[in-house]
Structure 1
C-alpha cells in the first residue's frame, strides 16, 4: 500500500508496473508520525511498515493484467453512436468483510443481486460500486473497470482502525479509519477515485512517479468528482469539487483530502498540517517523497479540469469528461508529463468537437491558467 515516501511500484517486467494506489497521501502519514500523539504516531509508523512489506510482496508479482484479457492495446474510445448500439451490461459486484484483518478479500457478504446485508459499510460499498459502474457504462460505454465486465471486488473493514483505502491492481479495500484522524473511507468520491485507478491501469497505465504519476492521481480525482456529480445530478457550478469530503475526523480542521476548485485549501490542521497541493506550475513541488509528489502536483491538472468545467457549464460528464476519457484512451504514453497530457486533451477536444470549436479554445485557456501552454 502506497503509504510511505519510497515508491510502491515494483518494476518486475517490461510492462507498466501496477502500484498500490491509496487515497491518503504518504505525506499525511509522515506528518502523523511527527505530530500525532503517541497512539496516532505509532499507528502511522505501523502503516508505513505495512507498506514496506506490501512492496516486498508486490515485487514477487508479475501476473497483474494491464489490459483486458486477450487485448494487445488499450481499448479504443467508444463513440456516443457506439454506446447507443452497444455494450452488454455485466455489472457483477462482490463485497467482502475483512473482519479487521490483513487477508484479502476476506469473507464474502454480499454478491450481485443479493439484498441489503445489514452492515452499512458493506451496503455502501455495494451501492457505490453500481454508481461508478453506471457512470462509465452509460456515459463512456465502458463495461466495468477493464471494459470487459470485470467483477468489482471490494473489502470493507480492512485491518483494525486502518487509515486508508486502496486499489491493489485487482480489487478495492477500505479501512474503517481510527475515528480520530479519519472517520470513514466509504465515500463516493473515494470509491470512484480508487476504481478509476483501475480504469487507468486497463487503459495502458501511467507510471506512478513524477508527472505521469500525478496524472494518474489526477484522472482518479477527476472521475471521482464526476461519479459523485453524476450520481447526484449536480451541474459543475453546484458541485463542491472536494475529494474525500467528510472522511476527516471530527477534530480535524478541514473539509476534505483535496479540493479541485482551490488546491491547497482542503485542510489546515495542527496535526495534519497544510494541504500542499499547488494550482499552478509556478508552484510545482519538486520532491522525492510521495513518488515525486504524485498526490501533491496532481492539483495542477485537477484545477485545469475544474476551470474548463466552469467555462463550459452544464455537466462534467458531458464534454469535459468525454474529452478526458477520450484522451486517456488515445494517450499511449505511460511516461506522459503534464504538457503531453494537455496536448492530448486538446487533440481529443478537436477530434470530438472540431478544430476551431469553442470547446477546444476554452480548453486551451484552462491549461494556460495553470501555467501550461498548448
Structure 2
C-alpha cells in the first residue's frame, strides 16, 4: 500500500441530464467471495486463452469498490507465471448480474507488450519485436536479503514503523519513444501525445515496501531490487503529503458531530463511516507522540460539548480549550470531506465502502507536516512551527483524497503518475473547501468558496504552497507538460494537471499577461470556457475511480478524462470539448474550437470524420445492410438508444455496414475507435462466425483487414477497440464491418460509438 504526505516544507523550499441526475457512485459494494473472484479471473483468463495465450498468463484481484450506480469496479492485476507484472492491470466494470460491461487496460505483460503501441493497444507501423520474455523466474537472492539491500540504501539507521515486505514480481523497465508523427519535432515542440511509454526490458525483481522512521522523520519508500543481482532498479517515496459547537482556528464557530459518553462527550462521529479502528470517524490526541513512530492516542473527550478557543496552539496542554482547537479543525475538515463526496458523488468515506477513518492531532513538537498513512488509513497533523497548525480545510481534504486514490487507481507515486496522484489530492482539497465554505450541504459543488491555492491559511507569510491556476508562481512547478515532467518531484509534476482542472472548471484568459492565460490555446475563442467546479469534479472523479490504472500518465489521463466526460454528458458535448481544451492548455493533446469542436487537419484539434457513428440518426451516413441499425429486444446500446446488431441470426447470413470517409493529408493522426459486444451460442474451439473490420482506398487498391472477431472471443459487455489509420492520410477510404454467420447457432456482434478522429 502507498502512504501519503503533503510534503509542506519541500513545497515551499523547492444536452443530457445534469450529472447529479445522470450518474452517482454506487453505495458500498459487497466484496466478492473467493469463489466469485475466482469465477471472474476464470472469465478473464478464458478471453485471454481464446486469443492464443497459455496458462502462463492469469489475473489477481487486488481491490473492489463502487463504480457508478449499479456497477462494481474490480481491479485485476496481470500475472505471468504466477508473478504480478507491476503496473499492468485491468480495471473491470461489472453490472449487478456480475456481467462485464467495460474494461480499461494497461497491458505490460511479457510476450504481449510490443515496444511501441497506440493508446488503444494496436501496434504502430514498423513496430519492433516485443522485449524478451523472462526465461527463468527463480530469484538468486531471497526476500530478507532484498529488504536488507533496500534498508541500507534508504534508512540504514532507521526503525520499522510497520513490518517491511518484499514481493517477487516481473518489473517492466520502461522507456519513452516518439510517435512516428513526431519524428521531426524538436524537444520544445513536443506534446504529451507525441510520446509513448514502452517496455524496454523485463526484470525479475522484488518490490520492497519500507515504512520506517529515522532522525525524527517518517521515511516511507518503495524500492525495486533486482532479484538476480541485488541492484536497485528504481525507488520512490511512498509517504504522500498534503452537532456540538467547535471554535475552529480558520473557520470561526462550526458545527461538529460528537457522541455523548457517560457524563461527557467524545469526538466520535457515528453518523459518518463504520468499522475501522474506532468504529466511526474519530479525532484522537497524539499528544506530541514522536513523528518517528506516532501513536494516535485516545479519542478526544470533553466535559461539555463546546470545544476549542479558535487560537493557534500555544505549546501547552493538548487537551484544554487551546489544545482542542486543532481537533476541531480536524473534525470539521473530516466531516466536510466525507459529506462532499457522499452528497455530491454518492461516494462513501475514502474507499467508497464507508470504512471509517481517523485523524490524530498534535503529532510531534512544532512538527511542520501533515500526512496520510494508508497502512492505518488515517491522517496525522502537526502543530507547525514555520507553519501554523496544519489542519486547514484544504489540507485535510488533500490528505483524505490520498486515501481515495489508494483505494482506487493507486497511482504509483513516481513520475507522471505520481504527479497525477498529488494533483488529485489538490483537486479534492479545493472541492472540499468550496463545499464547506458554502454550508457543507447540497448535492453539488458550489461555484465559489475556494481560493484555488493550496495551504494558504497555514502559511504564516500568507504565501500558499501551490497556485493551481498558475503553478509556476511557486518557482518550481511547471505550468505545462514537457519531456522533463516525469523527472520532477511529484509535488511539482502535479502542477500542469492542477492548471488543467482550474481551466476546466473556471476557464482561461485571452490576455497573454494574465496568470490565467495559456499560450497553447490557439483555437477559438482564445479564452476557453469553463464548465464549473461541479461538472469538472464529477468528470475527474469518474475517470480516477473507474478508468485510471496505477501507471496512468498525462496522455492516458487526458484520454480517460475525455471518456468520462463523453459518458456523462455526450460525445460532442460542451463538457467533452472543454476537457480537450483544458488538456490542450497544458500541452497534452491539440486544441480545438469550442463551437462544434472543429478545426482543420494537422493544425487543429480532434475532428470527427464519421457521420452518425452512434447510430442515433438511424441509417444516416451508412450503406449496406442498414436494417441492422436500430433498437431491438435482446441487446442494449453502449450509449444512447440505437446500435448496429450484426449477426444473431442462427443461420447462414452475410451483413455489411460501410461508410466512405476522407482523411486529410495534413492530419497528424487518425484513429478509428468503436465499442463492440460479442455474445454467442456456439461451443467448442472452432471458428464458425466472424466479424471483419476492413479499410480500403475508395479509388481502388487492396483491402486491409484491421481485425477479425469470432465466436471464440465473446465478452460479457462492450469492449472498446482502437486502430491507427495514419497510413491512409490524404485518402478517401471505405470503412467496412462485415459479418459472416454459419448455418446454426447465433453469434451477435453489436457495434456502437464508431468514431474516426483526426488531429
RMSD between aligned residues: 2.9
Distance of 1:256 and 1:361 partners within structure 2: 31
Q: Show the counterpart of 1:94.
A: 282
SS in 1 for 2:307: coil
Relative to the length of structure 1, the TM-score reads 0.72
CA offsets 1:83-118 (integer angstroms, 9 cap, x no match)? xxxxx963732111111112321232159x976363
Distance verdict in 2 for CA 1:176–1:216, change over 3 Å: same
Q: 1:202 aligned to 2:411?
A: no
Q: 2:560 aligns with which of 325, 344, 350?
A: 344
Q: Say which SS state the counterpart of residue 167 (structure 1) adopts.
A: strand
Gaps of 5+ in 1: 1-16, 32-50, 65-87, 267-274
The answer on whether the counterparts of 1:229 and 1:239 sit within 8 Å (CA) in structure 2 is yes
Q: Can you list the C-alpha shifts for 1:120-148, whole angstroms capped at 9, x where unaligned?
A: 11111111110111001101111111112
| Distance in 1, Cα, partners of 2:305 & 2:428 | 27
Please say if residues 174 and 185 of structure 1, whose CA atoms lie closer than 8 Å, have aligned partners that are also in contact: yes
Partner of residue 248 from structure 1, selected from 439, 454, 459: 459
CA distance in 2, matches of 1:55, 1:236: 47
Whole-angstrom CA distance in 2 between matches of 1:330 and 1:58: 30
Aligned-pair CA distance for 1:264: 2.1
Describe how 1:256-275 pairs up with structure 2 within 5 A: 256-266=464-474, 275=475
Matched, 1:19 2:3: yes
1:104 alignment partner in structure 2? 295
Secondary structure of 1:94's match? Answer: strand
Tell me, in whole angstroms, the C-alpha distance in 2 between the residues paired with 1:146 and 1:237: 27
- CA distance in 2: counterparts of 1:115 and 1:315, whole angstroms: 37
Equivalent residue in structure 1 for 2:344, among 139, 150, 153: 139
Q: Which residue of 2 aligns with 1:74?
A: none
Query: Do the aligned partners of residues 55 and 326 (structure 1) sit closer, same or farther apart at CA in structure 2, a change above 3 Å counting?
Result: farther
The 8 Å contact of residues 346 and 360 in structure 1, kept in 2 or not, is answered as yes
Note closer, same or farther for the CA distance 1:256–1:54 as it changes in structure 2 (3 Å cut). farther
Deviation at 1:231, TM superposition (A): 1.2
Match of 1:301 in 2: 497
Q: Decide whether aligned partners of structure 1 residues 93 and 162 sit closer, same or farther in structure 2, where only a CA change above 3 A counts.
A: same
Query: Within 5 Å, which residues of 2 pair with 1:319-330?
Result: 319-330=535-546
* Residue 378 of structure 2 corresponds to residue 171 of structure 1: yes
- Cα distance, 1:61 vs. partner? 5.7
Correspondence 1:60 to 2:161: no
Question: Is the contact made by 1:97 and 1:157 (CA closer than 8 Å) also made in structure 2?
Answer: yes
List per-residue Cα deviations over 1:230-278 (Å, max 9, x = no partner): 11238546642011012122xx4x5210010111225xxxxxxxx3111
Higher fraction of strand? 2
> What secondary structure sits across from 1:296 in the alignment?
helix
**Structure 1 position 196, deviation (Å):** 0.3
Taking structure 2 as the reference length, the TM-score comes to 0.37
Which residue, out of 221, 234, 243, partners 2:426? 221
For 2:4 and 2:158, how far apart are their aligned partners in 1? 9
State the secondary structure of the residue aligned to 2:473.
Answer: coil
Q: Is the 8 A contact 2:423 2:498 kept in 1?
A: yes
For 1:10, the equivalent position in structure 2 comes to none
* C-alpha distance in structure 1 between counterparts of 2:455 and 2:297, whole Å: 25
Match of 1:281, SS?
A: coil
Residues 333-354 of structure 1, C-alpha deviation per residue, up to 9 Å, x if partnerless? 1011111111110000001100
- Where 1:264 maps in the other structure, the secondary structure is helix
Task: Please give the alpha-carbon distance, in whole angstroms, between the structure 1 residues aligned to 2:301 and 2:572.
Answer: 50
Q: In the alignment, what sits opposite 1:183?
A: 388
Runs of 4+ more than 6 Å apart: none
Q: Take 2:346 and 2:491, find their aligned partners in 1: how far apart are those partners? A: 28
Instruction: Report the Cα offset of residue 366 of structure 1.
Output: 0.8
Give CA-to-partner distance per residue, 1:38-84, whole Å, 9 cap, x none. Answer: xxxxxxxxxxxxx947785456168x9xxxxxxxxxxxxxxxxxxxx
Task: Answer whether contact 1:110 1:122 (CA < 8 A) is retained.
Answer: no
**In structure 2, do the counterparts of structure 1 residues 89 and 160 end up closer, same or farther at CA, with 3 Å as the change threshold?**
closer
Contact 1:136 1:143 (C-alpha < 8 Å) held by counterparts: yes
For the structure 1 residues 313 and 230, does the alpha-carbon distance in structure 2 shift closer, same or farther, using more than 3 Å as the test?
Answer: farther
Is it true that 1:358 corresponds to 2:569 in the alignment?
A: no
**Cα distance between partner residues in 2 of 1:341 and 1:364:** 11
- Gap runs ≥5 in structure 2: 15-153, 167-208, 210-270, 275-279, 309-320, 439-444, 508-528, 591-759
Identify the residue that residue 267 of structure 2 maps to in structure 1: none
CA 1:27 to 1:137, structure 2 compared with 1: closer, same or farther past 3 Å? closer
How far residue 27 of structure 1 moved from its aligned partner, in angstroms, is 5.8
Greater RCO (Cα-Cα under 8 Å, separation 6 or more):
1
Please say if residues 431 and 450 of structure 2, whose CA atoms lie closer than 8 Å, have aligned partners that are also in contact.
no
